[in-house]
A and B are shown apart, each in its own frame.
Chain A
């Protein structure tokens, strides 16, 4: 029944150590519960058959003593099974809670209505990387994600890698994870956060250490200068419209901090936190009326002349 999408946002296709342990716990629970379900419903069916037969044929009544023993045994078994599951749960909890590694990649994820601000930490402030809505992670290396929120409560959840963690304003908490295979995954806000809760996804790319470092280096570059007159014009329109009030493109005067950083917008695969594929047409439509695809989001419509929009799109498209 599930088609193409299931592999990128599923608890059942883990791509990391933590998600794998949880998946094992799920399988254990599923099998134990299936057996318990069959036993309980089976005894109900037998009880029903014996009870109705007694009504018809006057079957002998079991002794209260035998009944008491049966119920007591069932309760004792229940307690034992539950204790086993409790231990399995605590065991898995211990395995998934932390990695305590020095070599961890540290990422700060901050929730906004309705997008993700992502910052890679670095001891050298200038080497920090600030981006949005797309998370790149190296495989086989611990990652610590420190989460908080700037407005309401959100929840960061990439099921292929780890359980969710709420982003609560006023609190910063950390989750650990480690991806074990390269791939493209998807996460989605899991705590109701208002009008566009449905359109708050994050793309996650797990890749080799080498590719990851290369990506980080690219991200550290300022936005590239326009290569031709069309893009030049696009940059001028961008800087003179109201765009810089909210958005930043490093290397230009645009330094707004309340909306996604656009320095490398063209390198991202989606727009509007997973709302649209990042194509020039979608980008043009988004700039003109972001309220169409994601009604209620905080970006206002931009009634620019069509040629100006195309110039801006041409410029943004060079920001890889």
Chain B
């Protein structure tokens, strides 16, 4: 379909590339709106936070490697474990998955751009500033020390009079704003910017996973925003939402937090399954077996994910009948996940499988995630849950689920898509060592924690007495952590090496079937010189040689084809926004507001002024003479007309 001879003339191509280019230079760097540029920033930033969170984990493992250790005092230990959890959930896991979505969803649906590119740029700055804010607080000895769950009354000012709990609550605000905005952009991109012919029934499973996740973000995040805002109000202006002394309720927090917190696990894990489906399909050289079943599994997981939150609260003493419903829901959610696993096995069973580095990580995912899923079913049982809840058994369980279900697929994704993003390949030889070390190190670290939990070791303790007999297994876990650290270090070295010295990647090195491989590696500014159309789920495998392309879009303006939600029939054209520095400035203004409001409620009032000013700048309309969009809906709700070339040309 994308034969070289199909390309438009060099002049048109140049103009198209120019139109979609982000400005260069230092000032231009703050104006980027290209989803590939923002996506790369998301991935690099989130991975950097993964490394920092990993360093914190290593410090904890050092402290716990022997009983009665005094390497860290309890105050620092509590800051470290709280910051580790907060970092991994809010600054790594969610953003890195959204980063993959920002980079690949537009490419996979055959679009020129992500929807609302300035909003996505703004989200990135919020993530970055939120992360800097958290770690600046850490260096100022003001990092959160009440856990990533921040339970009141411990997080109330009576028991945490310092600013540490406020730092946590505002970090939540930063990352929530960012992830909500990205979710909206990904949903709109998926539903309205698909290539003609890509009906919902042909949507790549990775994109389905991102779509489902984004809807989960929309429904889950408001609960924690509400909760963290109420906590800030309790601390800042003396409301009593969670204050038991004044008719507040300590359990209310837990319901709100876990109504978000449990779906959060699936917000991290569902994109992981999308990666698994994509890579298994590619390396089995066949369409995903049971596409419909897999998609329905994703959707039903998302629905059920909202009905499980009480299993984080089984120890609080809720009525037994009520708990039983949540036990049943928590057990039943294993069915859609099991269905996906069986479909993956069937795909490999009936495909032509080659095992390359991404596939190694997927096989590792199978071994580890299945263990985590099975201990998850154990945790759904109330009686067993009350024994192992808040022990190292649970620490083991959720690291098997989250590292198994998200980090293993993520490493698979790094190896799979690195050639597309960078245009060069990671080393196969080093890749095998990275995988081997990580797999062994992971199991050495986390498997013993199951046993420690059963033998009574609670979570979040900064030390333990030698007489408890937990020393040996803890030492083993710490050794495993060192092995994992070596693996990650080796990966980083290889990733940096391959930037300049990796072998040059072909456009479609894995012979994959989805549209991101239909363009060059790395893709041009416009993604596709000619926008593709599709006639199957795996267009590169199934499109006939004479598959038409989209013509009639302007090359001198950011002209985008908008299609219908269900059948992706062309609907109208739309001009997309130009690069702008205003999202960056708005993010700075919002940062000032968020941080100021920790110290005084007036920060919200006066801090709103710069936010308002920057937003006016952001949305200031251009007249049609300046190249702006004429008033909606009177113009540009037209379909491409190849015979009617506007000034500047079309392709």
Residues of A within 8 A of B367 (CB): 41
Distance between A269 CB and nearest chain B CB, rounded to angstroms: 12
Q: Judging by beta carbons under 8 Å apart, are B371 and A37 in contact?
A: yes
Asked if B238 is at the interface of the complex by the 8 Å CB criterion, the answer is no
Which of B207-215, B261-269, B334-342, B522-530 lies at the interface? B334-342
Given contacts A1-B448, A11-B456, 12 further A-B contacts (CB under 8 A): A1-B476, A2-B470, A11-B388, A51-B284, A61-B350, A64-B350, A89-B381, A93-B324, A96-B383, A165-B386, A198-B461, A295-B75
Q: Judging by beta carbons under 8 Å apart, are B154 and A152 in contact?
A: yes
Which of A67-75, A116-124, A225-233, A251-259 lies at the interface? A67-75
Q: Judging by beta carbons under 8 Å apart, are A41 and B366 in contact?
A: yes
Q: Judging by beta carbons under 8 Å apart, are B384 and A170 in contact?
A: no
1/0 contact trace for A141-152 toward B, CB 8 Å?
Answer: 000000000011
Q: Judging by beta carbons under 8 Å apart, are A51 and B348 in contact?
A: yes
Q: Judging by beta carbons under 8 Å apart, are A29 and B389 in contact?
A: no
Instruction: Point out the residue from A55, A71, A193 that lies within 8 Å of B353, measured CB to CB.
Output: A55
Which of B313-321, B557-565, B596-604 lies at the interface? B313-321
- Identify 10 residue pairs between A and B in the complex whose beta-carbon atoms are under 8 Å apart, listed by A's number: A47-B353, A52-B353, A71-B339, A88-B381, A93-B381, A93-B383, A153-B153, A190-B391, A190-B458, A296-B75
Distance between A272 CB and nearest chain B CB, rounded to angstroms: 12
Asked if B78 is at the interface of the complex by the 8 Å CB criterion, the answer is yes
- CB neighbors of B among A80-135 (8 A): 82, 85-86, 88-90, 92-94, 96-97, 113
1/0 contact trace for A1-35 toward B, CB 8 Å?
Answer: 11111100111100000010110011001000100
Asked if B472 is at the interface of the complex by the 8 Å CB criterion, the answer is yes
Instruction: Point out the residue from B151, B348, B377, B456 that lies within 8 Å of A192, measured CB to CB.
Output: B151
Q: Judging by beta carbons under 8 Å apart, are A9 and B455 in contact?
A: yes
Asked if B133 is at the interface of the complex by the 8 Å CB criterion, the answer is no
1/0 contact trace for B140-159 toward A, CB 8 Å?
Answer: 00000011000101100001
Which of B167-175, B325-333, B417-425 lies at the interface? B325-333
Q: Judging by beta carbons under 8 Å apart, are B315 and A3 in contact?
A: no
Instruction: Point out the residue from B371, B385, B456 that lies within 8 Å of A10, measured CB to CB.
Output: B456
Asked if B71 is at the interface of the complex by the 8 Å CB criterion, the answer is no
Residue of B nearest to A12 (CB): B454
Residues of A within 8 A of B377 (CB): 29, 33, 82, 85
Q: Judging by beta carbons under 8 Å apart, are A85 and B331 in contact?
A: yes
Asked if A203 is at the interface of the complex by the 8 Å CB criterion, the answer is no
Known: A12-B455, A93-B320. A198 touches B464 (CB 8 A): yes
Which of B180-188, B243-251, B631-639 lies at the interface? B243-251
Residue of B nearest to A29 (CB): B378
CA distance A196 to B153 in the complex (A): 16
Asked if B73 is at the interface of the complex by the 8 Å CB criterion, the answer is yes
Residues of B within 8 A of A71 (CB): 289-290, 293, 339, 342-343, 346
Residues of B within 8 A of A165 (CB): 315-317, 386
Residues of B within 8 A of A67 (CB): 289, 346, 349-350
Q: Judging by beta carbons under 8 Å apart, are A3 and B74 in contact?
A: no
Asked if A285 is at the interface of the complex by the 8 Å CB criterion, the answer is no
- Of B146, B386, B454, B464, which is in contact with the most chain A CB atoms at under 10 Å from its CB? B386
Q: Judging by beta carbons under 8 Å apart, are B472 and A75 in contact?
A: no
Known: A10-B455, A89-B383. A190 touches B389 (CB 8 A): yes
Q: Judging by beta carbons under 8 Å apart, are A191 and B346 in contact?
A: no
CA distance A189 to B457 in the complex (A): 10
CA distance A149 to B235 in the complex (A): 21
Distance between B412 CB and nearest chain A CB, rounded to angstroms: 15
Distance between A93 CB and nearest chain B CB, rounded to angstroms: 5
Known: A86-B327, A170-B244, A195-B78. A157 touches B381 (CB 8 A): no
- CB neighbors of B among A162-182 (8 A): 162-166, 168-171, 173-175
Residues of B within 8 A of A89 (CB): 327, 331, 380-384
A/B pair count, beta carbons within 8 Å: 267
Instruction: Point out the residue from A11, A44, A195, A197 that lies within 8 Å of B387, measured CB to CB.
Output: A11
- CB neighbors of B among A36-74 (8 A): 36-37, 40-41, 43-44, 46-48, 50-52, 54-55, 61-62, 64, 67-68, 70-71, 74
CA distance A68 to B349 in the complex (A): 12
Q: Judging by beta carbons under 8 Å apart, are B455 and A2 in contact?
A: yes
- Of A51, A78, A88, A174, which is in contact with the most chain B CB atoms at under 10 Å from its CB? A51
Q: Judging by beta carbons under 8 Å apart, are A74 and B454 in contact?
A: no
Asked if B463 is at the interface of the complex by the 8 Å CB criterion, the answer is yes
Distance between B472 CB and nearest chain A CB, rounded to angstroms: 5
Asked if A206 is at the interface of the complex by the 8 Å CB criterion, the answer is no
Known: A25-B384, A62-B349, A163-B315. A52 touches B338 (CB 8 A): no
Instruction: Point out the residue from B74, B381, B456, B470 that lies within 8 Å of A196, measured CB to CB.
Output: B74
Asked if B588 is at the interface of the complex by the 8 Å CB criterion, the answer is no
Known: A22-B383, A97-B320, A155-B390. A52 touches B355 (CB 8 A): yes
Q: Judging by beta carbons under 8 Å apart, are B469 and A166 in contact?
A: no
Asked if A79 is at the interface of the complex by the 8 Å CB criterion, the answer is yes
1/0 contact trace for B189-219 toward A, CB 8 Å?
Answer: 0000000000000000000000000000000
Residues of A within 8 A of B315 (CB): 155, 163-166, 190-191
Instruction: Point out the residue from B147, B293, B352 that lies within 8 Å of A51, measured CB to CB.
Output: B352
Q: Judging by beta carbons under 8 Å apart, are B338 and A78 in contact?
A: yes
Residue of B nearest to A154 (CB): B154
Distance between A207 CB and nearest chain B CB, rounded to angstroms: 21
- CB neighbors of A among B341-381 (8 A): 341-343, 345-346, 348-355, 363, 366-367, 370-371, 374-375, 377-378, 380-381
Known: A4-B467, A4-B469. A47 touches B346 (CB 8 A): yes
Distance between A56 CB and nearest chain B CB, rounded to angstroms: 9
Residue of A nearest to B349 (CB): A47
Residues of A within 8 A of B332 (CB): 82
Asked if A159 is at the interface of the complex by the 8 Å CB criterion, the answer is yes
Residues of A within 8 A of B342 (CB): 70-71, 74-75
- CB neighbors of B among A208-226 (8 A): none
1/0 contact trace for B292-307 toward A, CB 8 Å?
Answer: 0100000000000000
Residues of B within 8 A of A155 (CB): 315, 390
- CB neighbors of A among B468-483 (8 A): 468-470, 472-473, 476
Q: Judging by beta carbons under 8 Å apart, are A5 and B153 in contact?
A: no
Residues of B within 8 A of A162 (CB): 386
Asked if A188 is at the interface of the complex by the 8 Å CB criterion, the answer is yes
Distance between B645 CB and nearest chain A CB, rounded to angstroms: 48
CA distance A64 to B455 in the complex (A): 48
CA distance A190 to B389 in the complex (A): 8
Residues of B within 8 A of A52 (CB): 353-355
Asked if B460 is at the interface of the complex by the 8 Å CB criterion, the answer is yes
Known: A25-B383, A164-B390, A171-B251. A157 touches B334 (CB 8 A): no
CA distance A169 to B367 in the complex (A): 42
Residues of A within 8 A of B324 (CB): 90, 93
Asked if B462 is at the interface of the complex by the 8 Å CB criterion, the answer is yes
Residue of B nearest to A168 (CB): B250
Q: Judging by beta carbons under 8 Å apart, are A78 and B335 in contact?
A: yes
Asked if A301 is at the interface of the complex by the 8 Å CB criterion, the answer is no
Residues of B within 8 A of A296 (CB): 74-75
Q: Judging by beta carbons under 8 Å apart, are A82 and B334 in contact?
A: yes
Asked if A194 is at the interface of the complex by the 8 Å CB criterion, the answer is yes
Q: Judging by beta carbons under 8 Å apart, are B244 and A169 in contact?
A: yes
